[in-house]
Structure 1
Amino acid sequence: MKISVIIPAYNEEKGIESTIKRIPKEVFEIIVVDNNSADKTAEIAKKLGAKVIKETKQGYGYALQKGFKTAQGDIIVTLDADGQYPGEKILELVDYLIKNDLDFLNCSRFPLQNKNSLPFTRILGNYFLTFLTKILFGLKTNDSQSGMMIFKKEILNKIKLESGDMPLSQELKIKTYLAGFKYGEVNIPYYPRQGESKLFPLKHGIKNSKSLIELKLKHLHPLFLPIVSLIFIIFIYSFLASFNLNKQFINVTSDVNGENGLAVINWLNAGIFNLKLGKYVNGYLENKDSLKQINPKDFYTHHPVFYLLPTYFLYKIFGISEITTRGGIFLMFLISIIFLFFALQKIFNNLFYSFLTTLIFILLPGTVYYGTTFELAVFSLPTALITFSLFIFYYFSKKQIYFYFLLASIFLGGSMGWFYFFMPASIWVYLLFDKNKNFIKERKILLITLPLVSTLIFSFNLLHIYLLKRTYGFQDLKEAFLYRSQRAPFYNWLQVIYMRMQLNFNDLFLWLGVLGFFLYFLVYFKKCKIISPLFLMPIFNTMVFYQWSTHPFGVVFFLPIVAIFVSLFLIFIYERFKTYGLIFALLIILIGGIFSYKRLDYFINKFLILGPNDVATLKNLKNQVNNNEICLGQNQMGLYYGGIVMWYLRKNIYFSPDCLDDVNKFKNLKLAIIFNPQLGQFYLDEANKFISKGFKPIGCSDLWCYLSKQ
């Protein structure tokens, strides 16, 4: 039985001599693999009779693998060149291997016989890595990192070693065990090191941990990791969304929760088809008989309104509540996140990059908050992401099923908002300049069908407006468009946009996104140019709907591309600095997540348009008043509080100043709800209008005050 001893060495002139001298003369060969040493390691080894070979690829694993290929013996023994392992016990240990009919013998340093042979930090690191090895692979070992191993050379023909660095030691043990070879372990003495250590505990600990996880993943089902990653993302997003899903309608943009929720309640009460699927929020409809009070001009026709359908079905199935009101947009976002995750995997061809980008997207405060806000414009974002993802699936696979789903998604998105149409338009612009020779036929078809299908659903929306309001609907739509697209001084507009971005992205992710923007065009454009539609859509939207983009939610269409740009910056750092780049990325995600959580807390608990006591008062009034007995005062913010009031009261109300000027309306009034006069002169004047008509203040809650008609 021939024994080959392999010793990887890098600048080990202080330890190589004692290492070789301890080895029994009976061994067949001693191979020292010189791994670019700049000292006398190779010279000393040669003088002592060792066979010295060179390995220019720097790394412990590369050196060992070179030795394995050179070895002529039947039994392989590995030692480090620092004099710490007991080379004098090689024959005894080989004998143990043979007598116990083992294929592989691991020489464990633990429990340590010499307490001074290993620093505490390395003891701790070894314990952690050994524990991780046990958990992930079930390998019963006390020392997964030992550099002294004894095994039959035939093992190397049955396993494939990949690591070029420190992880090779654990890889060899694990793959031997998984391949079914007979594995054993004995405790050995371990001596103090001779010479300077080349090991960096943190760096190599992270690298070995990463290697263990990667090795485990290779032995799992190919769908396991994507599914686990996606479940994690869905869990994090759902957890963050839960802070707002069941919240009272009191925070910013919650007026639309009440308004759109009221529209859906009217569908339920009066009949969805009796209302011609139109959005009516000028009053509360108790039943079909209430249809008589509707003036067709009161239908809301500034936008397509089929975004109300998800909430309609949630109301019918689960009842009317804050959570079912927000549930429709939440579910749409969840679906779009799943689509985006797999689309990014196609683009990057890297699960980690896809996971990183999607994680950043769901951590952005705007994604969480407006992903749980029943705002009509926001529905265009998840539907646009679904369309983009289906385009990516079709582009990379050319399967017809994705083509048909892509067209169907245009019907879905186009029926929910005008803003959505910028996505198929952006895809069309991208295809106009696309040079992919493998997509020529499909490209031509899409260049024709995208505008055709978009025009078809656009015309369907116009037809719906005509059925609701006839030609007056077109005039109303034109005025709404001109208002939302009107220009303002650029500098003032830009200041507002920047503030909205700070609110929706947080400063850290925003500025990293700016850096990622430059990296995209300088480094990644050729590889990732297919993400261009996600960049073009918000640009087109902002250019056209100039005024609208200054709303608190006016920058939501930038959320996906900002997440991608931030991710590209972190990927750039990771690809250049590997372990340290990974640590940096994790720190950025952690710090950015904390900043986002604080910004989300501001959205939910501090950026308020009402107080909890205001809503509590509405709930108390619900069974104390009848239809048209309450008048709601005006506000300066341009918010439709009437939707919130009628949603909670389930009663019709009047509005100031009509309730004071119209005799028939005035005589029915019993109560007025106004904003606290202390908020400013406008609200003081509003209070005086009611007082002059015989109303008497009876109390205040948070932002509202109440007056009783005498």
Structure 2
Amino acid sequence: MDVALDPTPRVAVLIPCYNEEVAIAQVVKDFRAALPQAAIYVYDNNSKDRTSEVAREAGAIVRVERRQGKGNVVRRMFADIEADVYLLVDGDATYDAASGPKMVQTLLTEQFDMVVGCRTHTQTEAYRPGHVFGNAMLTGVVAKLFGRSFTDILSGYRAFSRRFVKSFPALSKGFETETELTVHALELRMPVTEINTPYGARPEGSASKLSTYRDGWRILRLILQLYKHERPLAYFSVLAALLALLSAGLATPVVLEYLRTGLVPRFPTAILSTGIMILAFLFFIAGVILETVTRGRQEIKRLLYLQMPRWEL
């Protein structure tokens, strides 16, 4: 059943793409049909084919971001475009345009700040087993480190409120931007939800730009970096505990020998153990100090978020 949208809110469909000449015309056509009141923006990220021309001919507003990487494109789109609702979708024709109105309506009527299109698929070529496993693993890591999470943190199909978009720092450069979007919502405790949406195979002649191992490692590294930035006390406490255990392990035979003979024959080991224990305390103190700094940053981000007006139906 089609969902009727209030015509008043400004809706922007944001399509980052790179070498999507084969798919982009169909993507623009589908979203123009599903959301006729929306402005369709295609951001070409240095394509070597006719992506920009084809998108413009299909009726999209075409802009170019020269810095390579999806994260750079998302940063540019969020900074440049003014709207009440933002619908972000990849330009590879794998996401279901018919789900867009429901995502937008859910965001507006239930006052969410982010609605994630959770991918459901029946074709193996649409969602390769390696990508399924990697997504599940990375989603589990995020849930373990940051608490409540999503079932599909790497989905490229999301609806956002203006509050979310204009308070999002967008520091990532590549495909790890979806992880940054997720952690931003979790750390500011924004109201978010997921909606199941069909996920299909790319059209013939279109190739995925995602590298399973390289981009998976980059995403995992970003998760750990975000954990260090957002939860410094926990992060540095773990490092301090590991160093303290190493120090205790080195010191144990030295202490036992001293208690038995009154001598310290392994003097270099005693010095090394003492140095490592001091380093462990320094790590813990660094975590305490950075936790205070992080708390201040979170308060500033929360205030910036609250300054943005929410759209009311």
Give TM-score, length-normalised by structure 2: 0.78
**2 CA distance for matches of 1:236 and 1:196?**
48
Deviation at 1:35, TM superposition (A): 0.5
Distance in 2 (alpha carbons) for counterparts of 1:241 and 1:13: 65
Per-residue displacement from partner, 1:324-376 (whole Å, max 9, x unpaired)? 75565433221234557899x9xxxxx9xxxxxxxxxxxxxxxxxxxxxxxxx
Describe the SS at the equivalent of 1:72.
coil
Aligned counterparts of 1:124 and 1:241: Cα–Cα separation in 2: 42
What is the CA distance between 1:22 and its match in structure 2? Answer: 1.1
CA distance in 1, matches of 2:184, 2:35: 31
Higher relative contact order (CA 8 A, sep 6+): 2
* 1:138 to partner: Cα distance: 1.3
Do 2:126 and 2:202's aligned partners in 1 also have CA atoms closer than 8 Å? yes
* Counterpart for residue 655 of structure 1: none
Quick one: structure 1 residues 113 and 94, their matched pair in 2 at CA, closer, same or farther if it must change by over 3 Å? Answer: farther
Q: How far apart, CA to CA, are the structure 2 residues paired with 1:225 and 1:109? A: 32
Of 183, 187, 191, the match for 1:182:
191
Identity %: 25
Contact 2:35–2:101 (Cα < 8 Å) also in 1: no
Say which SS state the counterpart of residue 101 (structure 2) adopts: helix
Q: Secondary structure at 1:144's aligned position in 2?
A: coil
Deviations 1:91-110 (A, max 9, x none): 12212222333221011115
Query: Which one has a larger percent helix, Structure 1 or Structure 2?
Result: 1
Question: Which residue does 1:377 correspond to in 2?
Answer: none
Structure with the higher fraction of residues in strand conformation: 2
Separation in structure 2 between the aligned mates of residue 126 and residue 59 of structure 1, nearest angstrom: 20
The answer to whether residue 21 in structure 2 is matched with residue 10 in structure 1 is: no
Q: Alpha carbons of 1:333 and 1:179: their partners in 2 closer, same or farther (altered >3 Å)?
A: same
> Once the 2 structures are TM-superposed, how far is the Cα of residue 229 of structure 1 from its aligned partner?
2.4
Residue in 1 that maps onto 2:219: 208
Query: Are 1:59 and 2:77 counterparts?
Result: no
Deviation at 1:71, TM superposition (A): 2.0
Count of residues paired in the alignment: 273
Secondary structure at 2:160's aligned position in 1? strand
1:330 aligns with 2:264: no
Q: What secondary structure sits across from 2:48 in the alignment? A: coil
**1:139 Cα deviation after fit:** 2.8
Q: Which amino acid aligns with 1:108?
A: C
SS of the residue 1:94 aligns to: helix
Whole-Å separation in 2 of the counterparts to 1:113 and 1:88: 17
Cα RMSD (Å) of the superposition?
2.9
Match of 2:211, as an amino acid?
F
User: What corresponds to 1:138 in structure 2?
Assistant: 147
- The within-5 A match list for 1:90-239 is 90-110=100-120, 112-194=121-203, 195-221=206-232, 224-236=234-246, 239=249
Alignment of 1:205-354 (within 5 A): 205-221=216-232, 224-236=234-246, 239=249, 245=253, 315=258, 318-320=259-261, 325-326=264-265, 329-338=268-277
Counterparts of 1:227 and 1:79, CA distance in 2: 39
| Equivalence for 1:269 | none
2:215 and 2:168 mapped to 1: Cα distance?
24
Query: Partners in 2 of 1:185 and 1:25 — Cα distance?
Result: 20
Residue 140 of structure 1 deviates from its aligned partner by 2.9
Deviation at 1:137, TM superposition (A): 1.0
2:261 alignment partner, SS class: coil
Query: Aligned with 1:186: secondary structure?
Result: strand
SS at match of 2:66: coil
Gaps of 5+ in 1: 247-310, 346-350, 352-710
76, 81, 86: which one aligns with 2:91: 81
Looking at structure 1, the residues matched to 17 and 109 of structure 2 have their Cα atoms a distance apart, in angstroms, of 31
Whose Rg is larger? Answer: 1
Provide structure 2 residue ranges, at least 5 long, that are not aligned to the other structure: 1-8, 288-313
C-alpha distance in 2 between matches for 1:193 and 1:235: 51
Q: TM-score, normalised to structure 1's length?
A: 0.36
1:19 and 1:96 map into 2 onto residues whose CA distance is 22
Q: Deviations over 1:575-622 (max 9, x none)?
A: xxxxxxxxxxxxxxxxxxxxxxxxxxxxxxxxxxxxxxxxxxxxxxxx
Question: Cα 1:226–1:134, aligned 2, differ >3 Å: closer, same or farther?
Answer: closer
The alpha-carbon distance between structure 1 residues 240 and 38, as it changes in their structure 2 partners (threshold 3 A), is farther
Shift of 1:32: 0.6
Distance 2:81 2:201 in 1: 28
CA distance, structure 2, for counterparts of residue 100 and residue 113 of structure 1? 30
1:407-446 alignment, distance < 5 Å: none
Q: Residue 31 of structure 1 aligns with which residue? A: 41
